[in-house]
Structure 1
C-alpha cells in the first residue's frame, strides 16, 4: 500500500506492544510467579529498546524525516511482516490470560525473538537509506564502530601535558634527582597509557556489541553478525574472541615491563615498537586438537568490524576494506618531478577475514611475534 512508510508501520508495532503490556498490567497477578513477572519485564524492555532505536537511528541518516518517510520496498516488507507477528503475539498474550493454554516460556522466547528481529529491521532500514546516499562505502554499522575508535584520548596528550624539562647546567645531585623524576614520569605516562588503552578497547567492544552479535559458527569458528547489513565476519579455528590488542614490549632497558594487553598470552619478547595505528593483531588459542595449546594471531575484531562492507547481492559474508591502505601514499614521476599519489584500493575490499589478515601480514608490519616462542632478530 502506497501510504505505508517506515514510521507508520513502526507505529502499528508500537500499538501492538502497548496492547500486550496493557493485557499483562490488568491481568490477575495473585497466582503469578517469577516467570510471569519476567515476561512482563521482557515486554517493557522490548518497547523501551524500540523507542530508543526510533530516536537514535534517524540521527545517522540525516534526520527523522528521511527515516520515518522512507518507502523502500525491502524495509516495508520487513516491517509489514513484523506488524503481523506482533499482532499475533498480543493475541497470544490475551489467550494466555484467559485460558493459560500457552506456556510462559514460549511467550518469553517469542518476545525475545521479536525484540531482536525488530531491532534488526530498524537497523537495516537505516542502512538502506545510508547506502542510497553513499554507495560503495562501509556499512552503517561499521561507521559506528569506526567513530568509537576515532574519539580523542587523554593518553595521546599525556606527553604533551608533561613535557620533559631540559637543564643543561646542573650539579651531579640535581642531575640525579632529575633522572629519578624523569624515570617516574615515564612510569606514570606508561601507566596512564595502559589504563586508557584498556578503556578504549572496552569502548570498541561495546560499540561492536551494539552493532551486532558474536556467536559460535560451527564447531571451531566464531562469527560476528551485523544488525545493519546481516553480513557475517568469520574468524576461523578460534577458541574465544580476544577483547584486547596484542601489545609489544618497549626496549629491554625498561625494567619489568610486560604486555598486559595480550589476551591469554605469555609476556612477549622485547621488540622495537612501531606506530600503534597499525597494531591490528590480537591473540588467542586454536580450537584444533593438534594445536590446542598453541597461540595464534588473529585480526582484532573491532578493526575488521569497523571496516566491513555490506555483502554483495547473493552473498552472506561481509567484505572488508583495509584502513591502512586508505592512508598510504607513494611517489611516482610527474611533470614537475616526483609526485605524491594516494594509493587506491579495490572498492570491493577483501572477501573475508582470512584474506584480510593475509593482506595485513604481507603489507603492514606486525607489532608482535606471530607466536610466543618466536625469536625476534
Structure 2
C-alpha cells in the first residue's frame, strides 16, 4: 500500500472541495472549489460577511507535468460541489452550492476548449449559506432531483428540468444542516445530518414522517450511500468516528471506528467496493477498508491544514493504481496523488 504525491497546487482562496467528473470520456476533468471571507468588506456584520469563491477547472492525466487550471470562475464562496453521474440533455453537469444561498448548475461544454457554462440557478433562501448538495441519479436513471442542506437547518429538494423547481422543504435540524445525501438505490429516500448531532431519514412519498437517530456524539457532517452495494450507508461526524449502517435498519450502526479528526467527506472507490477515502479535518486523510469492520489502511498527512476535500478519479486501472485529489483549507493547497492498492483488496 502506498500513496505518492505527484502534484501540488496553491489555490489562492481556502480550498474545501475537489470533485472528479464521473462521466465518460471526461474522467480527466477535475474541479476545485474555494471560499474566503472578503477582508475588504467592512460594512457587513459578522453573520453577513461576504464570502468570495472560485471554481477551478482542470484536465489531469498521467501525462500532466504541472497543474494549471483551464478555467477559473469567480463566484461567491463554494461550500460543496457534486457532478451528476448521468448526463442531462447530453451534457455532464456540475452542481455547486454557495455562501449566498444559491444552487448553481454548470454544463461542461466543448467549444475548442472545455469550459463550464452556467445553466440553471436558484436561491435557497435569504441570509443563508447553502452547505451541501447531492444528486438522486447516481445509481438510477430518470428525472434528476437535488437535495440541499443549509445553515438554518433546512433541507430542500429541487427538480431539475428547464428550471430548478423547489418540490419539498423540511426544517430538519435545530442548527446547521451540514450534509444531505440520497439513497442511490431509492431516489425517493434521502438523509440529513446536522450540528444538533442528529441523523434523519426522509421519504418524498411520505413527507410528514421521518426516522431520527441520535447515536452520534457530535455534529453529523458526512453521509454517503454506496452505488454498488445496496443498503450500505456511511456517516461521518465531528465525534471523529465513521459509522457503517444498513439503510433498512437505522436504529443502530453495524460497526464504527475512530479515525482521528472530524470526518468531513467520505468517498467510496469507484471500482473497489470495500475501499474508502475519508477527509478527516484535523486528522488529515485516511484510506480505509470497509467490510465486516472498518479498518484504517493508510494515513496521508502531507497537508498542513484542515482536510476538507477528497475524491477518486473515475478510471479503472489493471495495475491497482488509483489517482486521487485532496485539498486543505487555510494553507490553500490541492494535491493530486497515486494510490497503489494491495491486491488483497481487489474484489473477486
For the criterion TM > 0.5, the same-fold answer is no
TM-score using structure 2 length: 0.23
Higher strand share: 2
TM-score (norm. length: structure 1): 0.22
Q: Which has the larger radius of gyration?
A: 1
Greater fraction of residues in helix: 1
